[in-house]
A = this chain, B = another copy of it.
Amino acid sequence: MLSLAELQRRIDSDTLSADAAIAQSLEAIDARERDIGAFVRRGQTARAQNAGPLRGIAVGIKDIIDTADMPTEMGSPIYKGWQPRADAPVVAMLKAAGATIAGKTTTTAFAANDPTATLNPHNHGHTPGGSSSGSAAAVGAGMIPLALGTQTGGSVIRPASFCGVAAIKPTYRLLPTVGVKCFSWTLDTVGLFAAGVVDLAHGLAAMTGRSELLPQPAGSTPRIGVVLQDFAGEPEPAGTEALQIAIRAAERAGASVCALQLPEVVAEAWRIHPTVQDFEAHQAFAWEYRANYDAMPPLLRGRLDESKGTTAADYDAARRIADQARAALAGSFDDVDIMLTFSAPGAPPKGLSSTGDPRFNRLWTLMGLPCVNVPATIADGGLPVGVQVIARFGDDAGALAAARFVEEALARQ
């Protein structure tokens, strides 16, 4: 993979020009894209900028995020050829930081569940996950050092786990969702994919101008609470193994690790995530559903058909539970610095008929907490499996620091 931090180091020290760094990404795309299918469209004028912390960094943008100089087609024929006037703020932030937009990456239609044709770079017979399929696959295939995706259920952390890359779903609204096709405004979160945790930190710091997100000298070893999310069902053996490997590595590196039980209202919040998502989706997709019913992606349309009966009272009750769970979860961090759990049930499923299951992700999206995927192991078939590091609301720096600790502990094994 292409390490953003390593590219930055070489560009800063003049051992690599920003132009050459971009050329390297474009060549990698030329070499691997035909096999993977991670891009919907490539930038016509993908040239390096000459200033900014992300100069020389080629970025892939999930195709539900508006770009002023490339169509944004939402993975759906309903938006075929649609050309937004403006860049979404997250794209403008990347450009202002010096990045080059390499192209638009594949997305399941409207970031729901209908799969794309993108292949997992580690095993072409398996899904790369979704909905941010192309962004995860393009970074995992070593085509680009940075990509943007979005998560409403598990659409950043899950494909990152499946493609063996690091990813962060930051705290709710750390990155604006303006100019990003909405699925559910309470849930939608823009996230980043990169080769490693340090690369994420540099990318997120450059986009936001928040220097506290930059990698810091290693501090005290984290107190880790392991969360099994029983309410979400059993993981597969590969998921359990990845978590055990990460726990052992963290303990060997000096972390204190304990099992953490979450308050009952948190399990309730897990259960009502679909109520919040679907009630808002009916509003967010009101025009598409009403004016383009036949052209809607079948799985999303079916989901909307089934959830038609969700009432405003159901939604209001669900939001109250979510509020209570957020408050209760804050207390769960009294004795631990981070939580550690599954990024996905197991390895990426075979075939392309499903993008996998977000059941270990959706709670954290609803809670708005920062989550980082750290690749932990390789299952049979060369398939990556990650683990998920979760920190307090607003503590993205803590999530990144702890994820780096886990990543380095795993590398030392």
Binding site for B on A (CB under 8 A): 68, 78-79, 82, 85-89, 91-93, 95-96, 173, 176-178, 182, 185-186, 208-210, 280, 283-284, 286-288, 290-291, 312, 316, 394
Contact = CB atoms under 8 A, between A and B. Distances in A.
A98 to B, nearest CB: 13
A172 B211 CA distance: 31
B210 A286 contact: no
Contacts of A89: 283-284, 286-287
Given A208-B312, A291-B68, A312-B210, A93 B176 contact: no
A177 B188 CA distance: 14
A316 B176 CA distance: 14
In this complex, the member of A85, A208, A209 whose beta carbon has the largest number of chain B beta carbons within 10 angstroms is A85
Contacts of A96: 286, 290
Contacts of A87: 286-287, 291
Given A286-B92, A287-B92, A312-B209, A79 B85 contact: yes
Contacts of A288: 86
A45 B316 CA distance: 37
A182 B89 CA distance: 10
Contacts of A178: 182, 185, 283-284
A82 B68 CA distance: 13
Contact of A185 (B86, B91, B95, B176): B176
Contacts of A95: 290
Nearest to A394: B316
A contact patch SS:
helix
A178 B284 CA distance: 7
A182 B176 CA distance: 10
B68 A287 contact: yes
Contacts of A284: 89, 176, 178
A141 to B, nearest CB: 29
Contacts of A394: 316
A185 B208 CA distance: 16
Contacts of A286: 87, 89, 92-93, 96
A390 to B, nearest CB: 20
28 contacts: A68-B287, A68-B291, A78-B85, A79-B85, A82-B85, A86-B287, A87-B286, A87-B287, A89-B284, A89-B286, A89-B287, A91-B287, A92-B286, A92-B290, A93-B283, A93-B286, A95-B290, A96-B290, A173-B186, A176-B182, A176-B283, A176-B284, A177-B185, A178-B283, A208-B312, A209-B312, A210-B312, A316-B394
A82 B78 CA distance: 18
Nearest to A312: B210
Contacts of A283: 89, 93, 176, 178
A66 B96 CA distance: 27
